[in-house]
Amino acid sequence: MYNNPVLSKLPAHLTDLIIEKPYNSYNWQDHAIWRYVMRQNVDFLKERAHPAYLNGLEKTGISIDRIPDMQTMNDILQKIGWGAVTVDGFIPPAAFMEFRAHQVLVIAADIRPIDQVEYTPAPDIIHEAAGHAPIIADEAYAAYLKYFGEVGSRAFSSAADYALYEAIRYLSILKADPYTSPEEVKLATELLEAKEQSLGIPSEMAYIRNLHWWTVEYGLIGQTEKPLIYGAGLLSSIGESAGALSDNVRKIPYTIDAVYYNFDITKPQPQLFVTPDFENLTVVLDQFASRMALRKGGVEGILKAVESGSVATCVYSSGLQVSGVFADYILHQNQPAYLLTSGPTTLCYQNQCLVGHGTETHSHGFGSPIGAIKGTLKPPRFLDDNDLAAVGIRLNEPCSFEFESGIQVKGVLKSLVRKEGKLLLLSFIGCEVHYEDRLLFDPAWGVYDMAVGESVVSAYTGPADPNAYGLSYPQPKEKTHKIAYDQQQIELHKQFGVVREWRDQPSPFRHESGLTENYLNSWPNEWLLLTELLELAIKNKWDDRYISLLHRHLVQLAIEKPQYRNLIHRGLKLLGMS
């Protein structure tokens, strides 16, 4: 783990997703790609990005000249209360959100290949380190990003959502591998389209993913007539950032309605959303959070927990948190009267597992009433010993009582749990629980731990105490492909290093006989290497004939290779030669 106190607070289930990316695994072409994109961005964005971006570049000290190492990134980010870790490409959305809640940027360890300089479908270090990191130096935006993580990590997903994530990850990995065949990409694209079409009713995560895309990734800020860029997807893409500000892209004021706009990661977006300021982002997110089961609880919350089919938490009005896979529930007059989990379950309070109520105790599931006990006048969480005795519930004595829903409980009270003056739990032995003709608990099953609370006030994905539950995220099926370079490519990478060494010399590097001709003959189609050589020639005031020779070759290459045209002309413009 990198030296940063922010990272020391990460839970184990998140640290399992962190990978090591040795800094020396970046070759000199990688550094040249970083430098090219960063120089282009700073030049293009100086009048088009929100001031927080350029101010953040200066404040965080992120190098324009070379890829920053992760310890340097953490040295920079910890000054503003954040950290960074490397991961293998796209990680599960819930984990991504949770990292954000802990104020940690997840950085895809790899850098885009040379043929994806303008835009890459896969997350990379340019997108994260050069796109996200600078702008979080702005306090209002950083607060929004953290809040987004807190809300997003509690959003319910569906099995279809996870299948979509895996399809997106798979396609991005294939597209980032230069050896992938067109047929493989075609099949992966069709798979992604099929997953998108089979999503069904959007989940909370599907909606919040839209908000993330239209703000954190592709957000504009200011006035709709002349907005500025702040979204990391645009800040890190010299191709898309130019198109985003054109009249071809519709600009819409950012409101809660953005949740209903889906996006296609493989195409330019037909519309973008403009927020007047960063504070408005938090206002809209708070509006969405108010619609979530996280804040609403009730029947809707329990139903979402059941439909998710994964570990979730339902919170009783007493504050007791029940975490497990919710399997069923009972309604009485359209209100929750009973809930059940299957498999390992924990009972927690304030995100800490109660002693004796971990998964080893509740390994086969948990079931409990919701609501008020007949004959009581207070909310059940406020019942004291006298209140309980008034309805016949006393320690170590047989009792029989009924909930207003009609659920009947008969047994011997052995213990109870109170926290901060609130009754959370009653535990019975020899207990039998019925609802109408349905047996809910049999004395032979052991101790009956009964949750206390008149309602379920919150429901969200994941366990309340991840460590106690033993939470872990599944490892992705497809790992990012490690590119095997042939001897010619390795030699090309060395030449990028040679040119950089010449440029970094304290004294001007003088042209040697045949040097320019040698590069033009040996690497005629390597536009980035030749652009770097031209920059070196201009900086060190080589003879005009060498500068002219390199310039003419690059102009001709732009004509012969249309795929390089924009890249070459952008590079020449930065050198004052286009």
Q: Of 358, 367, 362, give the one whose Cα is nearest residue 469.
A: 358
pLDDT, average across residues 299-311: 95
pLDDT band at 178 (very low <50, low <70, confident <90, very high): confident
- Beta carbons within 8 Å of 323's beta carbon, 6+ residues apart: 311, 312, 313, 345, 346, 347, 348, 462, 463, 464, 465, 469
**Confidence check: pLDDT of 63 > 90:** no
Mean pLDDT, the chain, whole residue set: 92
C-alpha distances (whole Å) from 489 to each of 59, 339, 379, 483 are 36, 61, 72, 11
**Confidence check: pLDDT of 60 > 90:** no
- What's the pLDDT at 268? 78
pLDDT, average across residues 438-451: 97
Q: Are 292 and 211 in contact (CB under 8 A)?
A: no
CB atoms under 10 Å from CB of 486, counted, come to 8
d(CA 339, CA 395): 25
Name the CATH topology of 7-157+210-218: Phenylalanine Hydroxylase (1.10.800)
- Beta carbons within 8 Å of 182's beta carbon, 6+ residues apart: none
pLDDT band at 124 (very low <50, low <70, confident <90, very high): confident
φ, ψ for residue 407, nearest 5 deg: -70, 130
In this prediction, what percent of the chain has a pLDDT beyond 70? 99
d(CA 493, CA 480): 21
Written as one letter, the residue type at 279 is E
Q: Are 238 and 570 in contact (CB under 8 A)?
A: yes
Q: Which H, E and C letters describe 470-512, residue by residue?
A: CCCCCCCCCCCCCCCCCHHHHHHHHHHHHHHHHHHCCCCCCCC
The pLDDT tens digits of the residues spanning 319-365 come to 999 999 999 999 999 999 999 999 999 999 999 999 999 999 999 99
pLDDT band at 1 (very low <50, low <70, confident <90, very high): low
Q: Please give the full DSSP string across 188-204, using - where no structure is assigned.
A: HHHHHHHHHHT--SPPH
Which run of H or E residues covers position 34?
A: helix 28-45
d(CA 83, CA 100): 10
The conformation of residue 542, written as its DSSP 8-state character, comes to: -
- Beta carbons within 8 Å of 278's beta carbon, 6+ residues apart: 52, 138, 140, 141, 144, 221, 230
Which run of H or E residues covers position 239?
A: helix 238-244
The pLDDT tens digits of the residues spanning 547-574 come to 999 999 999 999 999 999 999 999 999 9
- What's the pLDDT at 214? 97
The pLDDT tens digits of the residues spanning 238-284 come to 777 888 888 899 999 999 999 999 887 767 789 999 999 999 999 99
Of the two residues 180 and 448, the one the predictor is more confident about is 448
- Beta carbons within 8 Å of 294's beta carbon, 6+ residues apart: 151, 154, 155, 301, 458, 459, 460
Tell me the whole-structure pTM to 2 decimals: 0.90
- What's the pLDDT at 113? 85
- Beta carbons within 8 Å of 334's beta carbon, 6+ residues apart: 299
Span of 126-135, 165-174, 208-217, 441-450 with lowest mean pLDDT: 126-135
